[in-house]
Amino acid sequence: MSKEKHVSETPATQFLKKNKTGFSEHPYHYVDHGGATEAARQLGLDLHQVAKTLIMEDENARPLVVVMHGDCEVSTKNLARQTGAKKIAPCSPDTAQKHSGYLVGGTSPFATRKKMPVWVEEGLLAYPAIYVNGGRRGYLIGVAPSALTELLGAKPVNAGLAK
């Protein structure tokens, strides 16, 4: 793996540039099933400030994006109640990839293939910057959480459970 700091553009970074939204780049060595925990460890970031992007679906198989603290689990029961769904569950990796256009482990909330409602854990909105996947495995971007609400219309939820 090369040591260069710049990562070639992804749909997510192109989307942010097009919308004149600044971001910082944080490449790291991708580890299978390492998730936000491994990214935070390698980059020396607070895991609570590193967000994981999850593709889930409601009882009618309608997809949605959930942006959650890296050190928390999503309470699908709380999420369903707050979003008005009867039931919410994670998508299969293949379905998630089809909806998002990103490989699992590299899913960004920005520039998904299919337009989906976005829900963000409200605690993430309190940070000056959060770290989300930039659209490639081993690549986080630092961005103001307002980018989620302003560019994606993300709605705050309180669905996190400590791991």
The reported pLDDT for the residue numbered 38 is 96
Domains of the chain by residue range: 26-132+145-162
Which residue in 2, 103, 7, 16 sits closest to 55, CA to CA?
103
Tell me the two tokens of residue 18: 């097009």
What's the chain's average pLDDT? 93
The domain made up of 26-132+145-162 has a fold known as YbaK protein (3.90.960)
Q: Convert the pLDDT of each residue in 78-137 to its tens digit.
A: 999 999 999 999 999 999 999 999 999 999 999 999 999 999 999 999 999 999 999 999
* Pairwise CA distance, residues 22 & 38, whole Å: 24
Q: Convert the pLDDT of each residue in 123-157 to its tens digit.
A: 999 999 999 999 999 999 999 999 999 999 999 99
Tell me the two tokens of residue 48: 């609570």
- CA dist 149 → 77, 120, 152 (Å): 23, 8, 6
